Structure 1
């Protein structure tokens, strides 16, 4: 008797409602061989080593998160942490790191991570570049320093960075003028990258939300590269209701031929640090040591406290700031102040003296969140960071709350703005769609049960409803449980020919 014939494919996902990523959904199958999709269509007549019954399920491209802070997970010595379970259990198969200007300029180290559960691409960050050359000082670069910063950005792009990120709200990046940022962004643009910006002001801290959006658009225009707005929002009581005006501003730039996009996480609370929320930028010039000295300078107390009081008002008051790590984890600033028998600003200073903890800052309105979400150029992201439920639930929450419960967007819009739109923006031509020849990054989820479980009180609860996740052809989630497969890859961007 001869040997049994070898099945022509490795995996067949059969009978689900397939959302290819840019075409209308249909009931059908997805076939995988090795790390690639080899066929997509109704009733594929193919034998497979394994068949997954997806009847009643949604089958979609693996979701892509364009703005995260999971560098520590990917570089961990713990193999389980490197799987990034919080992402896999939502169907997220690819993440971008190096956001908000924090990305290293040494891509050889970034791409040297051990085996990971998800794919990842990386930005070179303005903050890392500026610190390496200028430090924490509030001043413009010399010509020589600007040239050195350009070299660092160019070098990182030639090593595979996907773009140039900035966090202009944060010191020392906040000390840079528009022209400095544009000059560095241009180095990314020459090599095929894009500019990703945590804008200078999402509220009314300095130039205001509208002007900060305009600055990001200007940097893209001056640097001759696409501009992308990170975690777009209207933060704080002074700018609530401005979403329609901001949308109109971006639409005008797009009509004029400029490539402008944005991402958004579906939560009313942002995540940052207590100092970033409340301490004015002038007090942060020179870094933490200089900040602590200013806390002790009697001549500065009136101005410091006045500015911090106004920032606290802007953020919605002490009850709107929830500490999410450290000694005061789970407590709001008003409760901390009451327990210490002092006012909220004094309590904040006392906390920051010990450690500048992460906080969840409740500062957005549903009307603004939904207005941004409806835009076809706004994709799903998490801004995943410590202590915030967005790390474990953003994609699942967007589906459960804004597709199923509130009908803000359609299921197809949710899937495409979590996959193909993001892939196109990042230049990941072989991901983000279920099509022949694409890498086999796939999520199968139950439309009746897919939802977040993470809360502000319990931010690390895994999402529910995901049945199967495939990463580069390997089954990473099987019947709702992690398999331990670590099939993720570092996605190095190929620089524009002749640019390196």
Structure 2
């Protein structure tokens, strides 16, 4: 061996003994140079490294080799948004693969959604969550068991209390759903036949959900002054949580209608008092002045809805009830702000207000409303909130973003983009960090979605990258199905679902069953 060879051999031995420089970590994807909002820390410019479905590194500089690098310079990098209140169950179960991707959500950066809200969730949670095996979806989803679905299955649409045996059956259905992975019990106490229940009936089912580790989520009994009033309805929700021994989540918190506008501060005080007393009470909110519901729910008194639609249609033809029905509808229309405040968003009258329809038919608004309901029960956008109330609720640290996504309302396509564009960029109601954390982290932490809502090593790689200069809604009340703009990249479980602003059509979403309390299902 010559002298040079001996020197090289010794160097090799010494290097081996002392330890060679470690090889750089290899990852699948590197998001480089964006302004990172982790969900827990102040924003910083840095990198997010991802392998498979998990985040590996979040740092100012990730010294890795990557199969693909996405340049996020000038972009915001955040946890994928999580929507705690939607009506997207039918879309997620659609026979159409393109519909199941949920493009309106992905193009806003929403990677997870809850379904079964307002008391509508099927008791067969195993079937709901198991559907993804045969029908892949574009986003993650969790599901509630619905009080309305359970009550209808056992009691029907009648205005009566359940018998002892029926209540036991309802509790059993709730328990089974919880053991199958339901998030908790949802209610829509404003809607018949749920509105026919008394508080103690709801407490009984909520307690069953709570025993299995669930949450009580409620569209409260009255967001206005229809029955018990907004304040009393908030009190009832808090009472159900306290007596049922489980967390309370108030759906789409608002002060709806002319009688309660301006009451946000009083409602906030009630929730704050409960939280100070040790209760776990939160809420979600959509950033729109118009709610979305049906024409029947907006205008028809609850007594006339007893027995469902067939019974309602018969009452329309009963001359003995005509005056009573008209009196009730006159009052509900007043509370909604008048016929011009109700915009039909579906069906043959889509895009016209009740005032427009009445004028065209040369009828008063009540007669026009009955004529429309006879044909069907169209969705409506009801303009009934004021901006000071919306801003007051939005500022609360326990209020998260939720779309209440339902057909015909622009909130399906634009809620998160609108909240950013109007309430962060334009009106400065929230900071960008507050917007991001209340659209992702707060939701994940409140509902115990393990590994979601944070950008940190070990978390699932649900990520949104958007341009803070162009992220904005396009959907309006007149054109509610226009996709938002400004989102560059979306990852769902590490899979690129939106690439350079274009859907990839890759369905990487998962069902997210909630783990019941250990031992509660044995």
Please, what TM-score do these two structures have when normalized by structure 2? 0.94
Partners of 1:276 and 1:392 in 2: CA distance = 23
Q: Does 1:160 align with 2:178?
A: no
Structure 2 distance, partners of 1:108, 1:26, is 42
2:50 corresponds, among 28, 32, 44, to 32
Whether the 8 Å contact between 2:295 and 2:379 is mirrored in structure 1 is yes
Which residue number in structure 2 is paired with residue 43 of structure 1?
61
Question: How far is the alpha carbon of 1:347 from its aligned partner?
Answer: 0.3
Q: How does 1:264-413 map to 2 (within 5 A)?
A: 264-413=285-434
Further displaced range: 62-71 or 106-115: 106-115
Q: CA RMSD, aligned part only? A: 0.8
Instruction: Find the residue that maps to 1:201 and give its secondary structure.
Output: coil
SS at match of 1:100: coil
**Residues 50-72 of structure 1: CA distance to partner in whole angstroms, max 9, x if unpaired?**
00000100000000000000011
> Could you tell me which of 107, 110, 115 is aligned with 2:136?
115
**More displaced 10-residue stretch of structure 1: 97-106 or 17-26:** 17-26
Deviation at 1:98, TM superposition (A): 0.1
1:7–1:49 contact (8 Å) kept in structure 2: no
Instruction: Decide which of 102, 105, 112 is 1:87's aligned counterpart.
Output: 105
Distance apart, 1:6 and its partner CA: 10
Helix, strand or coil at the partner of 1:436: coil
Q: Is the 8 A contact 1:9 1:32 kept in 2?
A: yes
Alignment partner, residue 264 of structure 2: 243
Confirm whether residue 497 of structure 1 aligns to residue 518 of structure 2.
yes
- 2-side partners of 1:37 and 1:191: how far apart? 31
How far the C-alpha of 1:267 sits from its partner, in A, is 0.3
1:299 aligned counterpart, secondary structure: coil
Are 1:72 and 2:90 counterparts?
A: yes
User: Hey, what does 2:9 align to over in structure 1?
Assistant: none
2:482 aligns with 461
Which of 203, 209, 212 is residue 182 of structure 1 equivalent to? Answer: 203
Q: Unmatched 5+ residue regions in structure 1?
A: none
1:359-385 CA distance string (max 9 Å, x none): 000000000000000000000000000
Query: Residues 306, 443 of structure 1: CA spacing in aligned structure 2 closer, same or farther, 3 A cutoff?
Result: same
* Number of equivalences: 496
What's the TM-score, normalizing by structure 1? 0.99
Alignment equivalent of 2:220, drawn from 199, 207, 211: 199
Cα deviation for residue 240 of structure 1 reads 0.4
Distance 1:454 1:131, change over 3 A: same
Task: Give me the whole-angstrom Cα distance separating, in 2, the residues matched to 1:193 and 1:93.
Answer: 22
Residues 1:430 and 2:430 are matched in the alignment: no
Distance 1:498 1:289 in 2: 44
Q: Which runs of 4+ in 1 moved over 2 A?
A: none
2:436 equivalent in structure 1: 415
Counterpart CA distance in 2 for 1:21 and 1:154 is 33
Structure 1 residue corresponding to 2:249, chosen from 222, 228, 231: 228
Return 5+ residue gaps in structure 2 as ranges: 1-22
Quote the offset at 1:7 in angstroms. Answer: 6.7
Residue in structure 2 matched with residue 450 of structure 1 by the alignment: 471
In the alignment, the residues of structure 2 paired with residue 7 and residue 38 of structure 1 have an alpha-carbon distance, to the nearest angstrom, of 10
Separation of aligned partners in 1, 2:340 and 2:331: 15
Aligned to 2:360, the other structure's residue is in SS state helix
CA displacement at 1:89 relative to structure 2? 0.2
Which residue number in structure 2 is paired with residue 252 of structure 1? 273
Q: How far apart, CA to CA, are the structure 2 residues paired with 1:8 and 1:144?
A: 61
CA contact (8 A) 1:89 1:477 kept: yes
Q: 1:112, CA displacement in angstroms? A: 2.6
Q: Deviations over 1:122-159 (max 9, x none)?
A: 00000000000000010111110000000000000000
Residue 23 of structure 1: how far off its partner (Å):
1.4
